[in-house]
């Protein structure tokens, strides 16, 4: 597919997003930007959240994981269902009862000022790194596919990428994103479906026989109960999936902001139930695509790239699957990345405005002006982080940095768990120290686990350890306070 054709495709795509933004942002104010005036249709939110959950990294990496991990990822996906049940029955009722715009306001009501700021800080740090990394990957693919041939520098293409997100979100915010994310989810799923269809044609396999082909392949093993030390062991994956969902959805302003834009708690629960069910099927869809990509590569005698993440772009963009698959690959990758990044930018703007600045205390006109400036600032920060990734230019370092963002969710898990399980007060000023030490201890434990525990290696469940250490640290603070000065501090409401 030629660079010119890709550019025309992307211009048309963003033109459609801008049209949606124009119609959805009419009469928008700060309440529209932050929570969509609590008028978002739950079914639209549910569909759009699929795209937000499945970023550009997922679009490329989940199919690639099939080579080394087969369908073991489905064990984690099944754990997601348990996590979403906790969100629906525990966290959502809490957020709706307190009428929150930022979910970290709960920490202020429960513990105090420093706990509140700590929770917001960890979210802003995590989402800034995560959103920038996702955009970096897409900008790199587009740079190789288009802009290198035209002599356009990387920094300029990144600036254009972020500018486009800013343009269609700056006015409507979450009110616009609910609609644009639904459109982008549709393109992403269409890309996967068309790729599967094209591979079937190339292999001369009927649509109804594709599932049988995947099932009978060497890639389809799903459940692993044999070795408890293995990172693919079922219970490690299942429990990790549950806690990752609770933390990275239920305690994440980006994901919960869409839920809080829905009219009522009942409809928000319907959103979670429907979204989580469809998400299981979508992940199975992606894994099946991965198996077919490797089956087709073997069929045509194509050497598997050293980095398995390159298999999907290689087959799609180098003409192996035809122009239609190439076209929808670009659309799907762009949609997957932007549906995650646009909501992240809006959530970061919301958190900085509400949690750090306290914009809700200002009069409306001044608050709108300030929110727009913060939106520009957060866009610029994402731009700078992406350029830093490019300067490092070391995949291992970048991958490690992205994984390190997961450590920042552990303190949130520990704080919320302690707040909802206990009614005891805390020494609020000491909470930031606990939330700093817990990830450091977690990293050290993860590093030494193979030596201390006879070869055992932590996987994604390290977030549970991180949360548990935070929880224990807060329990120690609480105990010391009760033994000392508890009578001097009022009990925060649950």
* Residue 81 belongs to domain with CATH number: 1.20.1730.10
| Helix, strand, coil share of the chain (percent; to 5) | 80, 0, 20
pLDDT for residue 487: 46
**Residues in contact with 445: Cβ distance below 8 Å, sequence separation at least 6, in sequence order:** 458, 465
Report yes or no: 337 and 56 within 8 Å, Cβ to Cβ: yes
Average of per-residue pLDDT across 211-234: 84
Residue 124: alpha-carbon gap to chain centroid: 13
C-alpha separations of 287 from 39, 211, 428, 436 in Å: 35, 11, 45, 37
Residues 150/154/160/165 CA torsion (nearest 10 deg): 130
pLDDT for residue 481: 66
Measured in degrees and rounded to the nearest 5, phi and psi for residue 453 equal -120, 35
> Would you say residue 225 lies in a domain?
yes
Average of per-residue pLDDT across 44-56: 75
Q: What is the CA radius of gyration of the chain?
A: 23
C-alpha separations of 192 from 9, 311, 468 in Å: 18, 14, 38
Distance, in Å, from the CA atom of 121 to the CA atom of 348, rounded to the nearest integer, reads 10
Report yes or no: 469 and 414 within 8 Å, Cβ to Cβ: yes
Could you tell me the two tokens for 163?
């500018």
> Would you say residue 283 lies in a domain?
yes
pLDDT for residue 30: 64
Q: What is the mean pLDDT of the chain?
A: 82
pLDDT for residue 359: 82
Query: How many structural domains are present in the chain?
Result: 1
Of 232, 304, 244, which Cα lies nearest the Cα of 64?
A: 304
Q: Please check the confidence at residue 98 and state whether its pLDDT lies above 60.
A: yes
Of 260, 245, 263, which Cα lies nearest the Cα of 95?
A: 260
C-alpha separations of 257 from 174, 369, 446 in Å: 8, 21, 32
Report yes or no: 182 and 44 within 8 Å, Cβ to Cβ: yes
Measured in degrees and rounded to the nearest 5, phi and psi for residue 331 equal -60, -45
Q: Please check the confidence at residue 92 and state whether its pLDDT lies above 90.
A: yes
> Would you say residue 122 lies in a domain?
yes
> Would you say residue 436 lies in a domain?
no
Q: Please check the confidence at residue 87 and state whether its pLDDT lies above 90.
A: yes
Report yes or no: 287 and 221 within 8 Å, Cβ to Cβ: no
Q: What is the pLDDT of residues 172-204, one digit of tens each?
A: 677 777 787 788 888 888 988 999 999 999 988
Q: What is the pLDDT of residues 378-404, one digit of tens each?
A: 989 989 988 887 787 555 444 555 566
Q: Of the segments 174-188, 359-373, 434-448, which one has the largest average pLDDT value?
A: 434-448
> Would you say residue 36 lies in a domain?
yes
> Between vectors from CA 250 to CA 113 and to CA 462, what angle results, nearest 5°?
90
pLDDT for residue 296: 92
> Would you say residue 489 lies in a domain?
no
Distance, in Å, from the CA atom of 72 to the CA atom of 325, rounded to the nearest integer, reads 27
C-alpha separations of 214 from 155, 211, 244, 288, 315 in Å: 41, 5, 28, 6, 18
Distance, in Å, from the CA atom of 339 to the CA atom of 261, rounded to the nearest integer, reads 17
pLDDT for residue 161: 80
Q: Which residues make beta-bridge pairs with 262? A: 40
pLDDT for residue 339: 73
Q: Please check the confidence at residue 413 and state whether its pLDDT lies above 70.
A: yes
Q: What is the pLDDT of residues 144-167, one digit of tens each?
A: 767 777 888 888 888 888 888 887
Could you tell me the two tokens for 421?
């399980």
Distance, in Å, from the CA atom of 284 to the CA atom of 279, rounded to the nearest integer, reads 9
Running DSSP on this structure, what letter comes out for residue 198? H
Distance, in Å, from the CA atom of 352 to the CA atom of 375, rounded to the nearest integer, reads 9
> Would you say residue 158 lies in a domain?
yes
Average of per-residue pLDDT across 274-285: 90
- For the chain, give the longest Cα–Cα distance: 77
Range of the domain at 368: 3-404
> Would you say residue 342 lies in a domain?
yes
Distance, in Å, from the CA atom of 71 to the CA atom of 9, rounded to the nearest integer, reads 33
Of 171, 109, 134, which Cα lies nearest the Cα of 57?
A: 134
């Amino acid at each position: 597919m030629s660079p010119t054709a890709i550019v025309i495709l992307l211009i048309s795509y963003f033109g459609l997003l801008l049209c949606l933004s124009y119609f959805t942002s009419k009469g928008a104010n700060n309440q529209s930007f932050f929570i969509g005036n609590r008028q978002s249709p739950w079914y639209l939110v549910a569909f759009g959240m699929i795209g937000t959950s499945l970023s550009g990294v997922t679009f490329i990496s989940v199919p690639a994981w099939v080579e080394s991990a087969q369908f073991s990822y489905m064990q984690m996906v099944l754990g997601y269902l348990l996590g979403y049940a906790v969100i629906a029955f525990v966290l959502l009722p809490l957020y709706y009862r307190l009428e929150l715009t930022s979910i970290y306001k709960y920490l202020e009501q429960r513990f105090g000022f420093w706990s509140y700021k700590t929770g917001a800080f960890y979210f802003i740090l995590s989402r800034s790194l995560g959103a920038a990394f996702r955009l970096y990957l897409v900008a790199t693919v587009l740079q190789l596919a288009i802009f290198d041939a035209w002599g356009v520098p990387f920094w300029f293409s990144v600036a254009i990428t972020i500018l486009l997100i800013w343009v269609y979100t700056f006015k409507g915010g979450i009110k616009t994103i609910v609609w644009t994310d639904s459109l982008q989810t549709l393109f992403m799923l269409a890309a996967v479906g068309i790729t599967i269809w094209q591979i079937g044609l190339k292999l001369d396999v009927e649509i109804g026989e594709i599932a049988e082909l995947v099932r009978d392949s060497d890639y389809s093993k799903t459940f692993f109960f044999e070795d408890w030390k293995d990172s693919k062991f079922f219970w490690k994956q299942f429990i990790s999936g549950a806690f990752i969902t609770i933390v990275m959805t239920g305690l994440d302003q980006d994901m919960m902001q869409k839920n809080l834009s829905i009219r009522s708690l009942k409809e928000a629960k319907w959103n979670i139930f429907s979204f989580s069910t469809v998400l299981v099927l979508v992940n199975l869809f992606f894994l099946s695509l991965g198996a077919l990509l490797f089956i087709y590569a073997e069929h045509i005698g194509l050497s598997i790239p050293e980095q398995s993440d390159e298999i999907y772009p290689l087959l799609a963009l180098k003409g192996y699957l035809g122009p239609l698959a190439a076209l929808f690959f670009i659309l799907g990758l762009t949609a997957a990345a932007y549906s995650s990044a646009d909501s992240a930018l809006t959530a970061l703007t919301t958190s900085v405005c509400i949690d750090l600045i306290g914009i809700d205390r200002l009069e409306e006109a001044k608050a709108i002006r300030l929110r727009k400036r913060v939106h520009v600032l957060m866009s610029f920060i994402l731009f700078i982080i992406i350029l830093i990734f490019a300067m490092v230019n070391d995949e291992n370092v970048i991958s490690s940095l992205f994984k390190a963002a997961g450590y920042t969710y552990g303190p949130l898990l520990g704080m919320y768990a302690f707040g909802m399980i206990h009614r005891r007060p805390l020494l609020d000023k000491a909470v930031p120290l606990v939330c700093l030490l817990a990830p450091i201890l977690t990293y050290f434990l993860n590093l030494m686990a193979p030596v201390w525990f006879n070869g055992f290696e932590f996987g994604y469940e390290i977030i549970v350890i991180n949360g548990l250490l935070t929880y224990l640290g807060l329990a120690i603070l609480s105990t010391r306070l009760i033994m000392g000065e508890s009578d001097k501090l009022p009990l925060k409401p649950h």
